[in-house]
Amino acid sequence: MNLDNEHHLDEQQLIQAVVDENDLPGAMQAHLVTCHQCRTSKESFEQELASLGQMAERYAPKPEKRIALPVHEATSTLRTFLNWRNTIGAAAAVAAVLIVFWGTTIVRNLTEYGADSVPSGLMDAKQLMTEVNMLVDNALPPLYLEISAENNPDYDKEFYQFLIPQIETETLSSYRWKRGTSSC
């Protein structure tokens, strides 16, 4: 046991010994091995630090939730199967899209060109109704319309007035009465 106080570890060397004893100079390391006082000081400090960690552990709460890991990682066989399943699924999805697109096109075509596919009897009836409507508008056949000059734009209202003047309904005496004159 070394009782020479001059060679005892000072506080800095004591801390250094706690951090890593091997970092002390060789003489100090040798002293630490033999000096009971220095050894006790060092171990006491180390004990304080150890109790610090243990108290922290004791006064910290315990975890309550369990750790949830992701779903099981697929094995190679399962992964292959899943890949096949994905491929089939993708193909089915593409097919479904095509079917929907195709179906929509057919419906649209039916709507647009539906007239072509209606029965001929229905078409005849429609044509007949068109002719009837034309006759209601003007019963004269086209030939007579030519003769009657019905369609000539030059024969306007003034021309007809010239051909067939409007009949004067007022007499000469009534006209003079309106003007305030008399024949006498």
Partner 1 sequence: MGEEIRHPKMASTEDTNTTSGTSTQLVSLVNQAKDGNRSAFAQLVDRFHADVFRMVYYRIRSRADAEDIAQDVFLKAYQKISSINDAARFRGWLFSITLNRIRDYHRKKRFRSLFKVDDENIESHPPVETGSDQPEALDHILREDFWRQIGLILNKLSKMEREVFLLRFFDHLNINEIAGTLKKNESTVKTHLYRALAKFKKEPGIRQLLKEAIQ
Whose CA is closest to 173, among 161, 182, 160, 184?
182
**Count of Cβ atoms closer than 10 Å to residue 28 Cβ:** 21
Secondary structure class of 7 (helix, strand, coil): helix
Candidates 44-52, 88-96, 136-144, 167-175: pick the segment binding partner 1 (CB under 8 A): 44-52
Closer Cβ to partner 1, 61 or 119, answer by number: 61
Choose, by CB under 8 A, the member of 70, 114, 141, 165 that binds partner 1: 70
Residue at token pair 């030939």: 143
CA distance 33 to 43: 12
Minimum Å gap between C-beta 60 and partner 1 is 5
Q: Does 53 bind partner 1 (CB under 8 A)?
A: yes
CA distance 4 to 34: 11
Candidates 13-21, 90-98, 119-127, 150-158: pick the segment binding partner 1 (CB under 8 A): 13-21
Q: DSSP letter at 150?
A: T
Residues that bind partner 1 (CB under 8 A): 11-12, 15-16, 18-20, 23, 43, 45-65, 67-70, 72-73, 75
